Structure formats: structure tokens, C-alpha cells
Amino acid sequence: MQSEPIRVLVTGAAGQIAYSLLFSIAKGDVFGKEQPIILLLLDITPMLPVLEGVVMELQDCALPLLREIVPTDKEEVAFKDLDAAILVGSMPRKEGMERKDLLKANVAIFKSQGAALEKYAKKTVKVLVVGNPANTNCLIAAKSAPSIPKENFSCLTRLDHNRARSQVAMRCGVPATHVKNVIIWGNHSSTQYPDVHHCLVNMSGSELACFDAVKDDAWLKGDFIATVQQRGAAVIKARKLSSAMSAAKAICDHMRDIWTGTPEGEFISMGVYSSGNSYGVPEDLIYSFPVQIKDKSWKIVEGLAINDFSRTKMDATAAELMEERDTAVTFLSSV
């Protein structure tokens, strides 16, 4: 006996991340092989003809779990009775655009989508914000949906987490699955701090601390961090397009872990509400922490030792997030 279908929204649904994402969701990689799905696909009006093509392709996949596909440009249709919302669509940064202008455009979008969540979605909806600046967009959406618990909102830093994991794995010559408990602290930006002080690497059957496995402290404290921080820009430079396949995979990982939990003894990174954390991160931010997930709720992993090297980097990314938040909040009243 299959369960009732769940309603899953993807915004920016005609875009390139969504194109890599929708098939995985529809075939059961995220919410489970027994879970039927109604897919709601939101995009802006000029993209509707393209979205129609995406719908045709999803139909042509002939998937057993996909019960209904609803393409729309209307928030009241897209956000109705949602179980999960994956907010991919945002205003992309254009040549010569100030970060401030980008922030203002996105505050308008995420204020509106937050209000739509508040008005139309289930109060239990799980909301993942992907569109950049993801942390601040997520905070604005959460503030605009006051009756949905703040814990239900998260932003994507799993792509950074996976990048860090993969860099360590390649360096050690092991599969990425042999590397666990890397941490991304802070903002999904070039100030993020990829931290491997608590990371473990499985080398020929025994788990070693990352620093012992890699045996190159200078790399781990230098080029490794820079590579992960700058990886998005490197992909754009090479491909002339931003990360899509890898972003879609990270979205699937993030949502699947929310739905089914994290493995025993492992933690993952996601941007969550910072209030009440024990790591001295300022309140009222969406900040990436190491979390464990059980029964669809996350807990920040407590008691990890933070050295001075880490502290400085954690504080730097927090400072950037506070500045972004304060700028965004001033726009909130004007948009």
C-alpha cells in the first residue's frame, strides 16, 4: 500500500539546476522509493513555454511515483498545501551589478515567497533555499512566514560540504564515501570555512583523523580551503555556466537527509537558524553548522573543540552574514 502523495515545490523550475534535479526527485531518490509525488513547478511568466517542455520530458520519463505535475507562474497555486519547498529561483548577479542591488532584488522575491508559504503551505513544510545569497534569502523567507517554525527553514551548503569531502578523498586516494564529518561553517560564499579538524578518513579499514590521513597541514590550512571556497567560480570560468549537476545532487542529499535522517555517528552541513547555538555564532542568522537529523528535525552537533585558527574563520563569515542581514532587513520595509 503506497502512502498519500506529498506536494513538492521547485521554483526556478525552467532553469538549469532544476533540469538536473527534477528527474531525481520524480524517480524517488529524495523522498523514498514508495512515496508518490505531486510536483509543483514555479517560474516567471516568460519561462512558461520552456517549463512546458520540461513537463513534457517528465511525462515522457513514465515514472511510477509521479502522480501529477503542475507548472505555474502563480504563487497561490505553487505554494498550496506544500510538504516540501525547494526554492532554487532567484535573481542572478549580472555583470557590473553591486551586491547591494542583488540583495534588494532577492529580498523582494523571498519576502513574497515567504508570505506565500505563510498563507498557503502546510505549517509542517520543510523549506530549502538554494537561490543566492542563500543564507540571507532563507532568513528573509523565514521572517516573512512567522507562523512556520524557524527550524523548518534551511539553506544549501551541502554542495560546499560535498566539495570539501571530495577534495580530501582525492588527496587521500579513497572514495568520497570514506570521508565523513567535514564541516562547512557560515555563509555560502567565499568567506565560508571548510573545517576538517573533526573529519575522519577511512584508510584501508581504519578511521584516521583527516590531518593524519592527509599528512600535509599546509595544504589543509591553505589551498584546500581556498579551492572549496572558490569552486563555484572555477566551474563558471570553465563551463561558462554555474554548477548545476553538482548543485542538484547536493539538494537531493540535503532533502533526503531531512526526510530520512543522517547515519549514526555522522554529521552533515546545512545553513540553519543560529539562535541558541553553543559556538558563539551571533543570534538571528542562517549560518551553516554541522548537524545531525532524526525524525525530520535537525540538531547542531555540540561539543566540538574549536581552535584559534577555526575561530577566526568562523567569526569572519559571521561578520559577513550580519552585514548582509542588516542590509537586507533595511530593504524589507521598502519592498
- Computed on alpha carbons and rounded to an integer, the radius of gyration of the chain in Å comes to 19
Whether 41 contacts 72, CB under 8 Å = yes
Residue 152 annotated as lining a ligand binding site? no
216 Rama sector, left if φ>0, alpha if ψ -120 to 50, beta otherwise: beta
Distance separating the N- and C-terminal Cα atoms of the chain: 47
For residue 248, which phi and psi values (nearest 5 degrees)? -60, -45
Task: State yes or no: is 188 an active-site residue.
Answer: yes
Residue 231 annotated as lining a ligand binding site? no
CA distances from 276 to 198, 252, 279, 280, 282 (A): 22, 28, 9, 9, 9
Q: How many secondary structure helices (H) and strands (E) does the chain include?
A: 11, 14
> Which of 188, 197, 198, 254 is an active site residue?
188
Whether 86 contacts 9, CB under 8 Å = yes
* Helix H or strand E encompassing 291: strand 286-294
Residue 277 annotated as lining a ligand binding site? no
Determine the Cα–Cα distance for residues 202 and 195; give it in Å rounded to an integer.
17
Residue 276 annotated as lining a ligand binding site? no
Residue (of 72, 155, 145, 154) closest to 113 by Cα position: 145
Contact residues for 253 (Cβ-Cβ < 8 A; gap 6+): 158, 162, 268
Residue 163 annotated as lining a ligand binding site? yes
Residues of each annotated binding site: 43, 93, 99, 106, 130-132, 163
Annotated binding site for substrate: 93, 99, 132, 163
Catalytic residue annotation: 188
Mark the binding-site residues for NAD(+), compressed into ranges.
Answer: 43, 106, 130-132
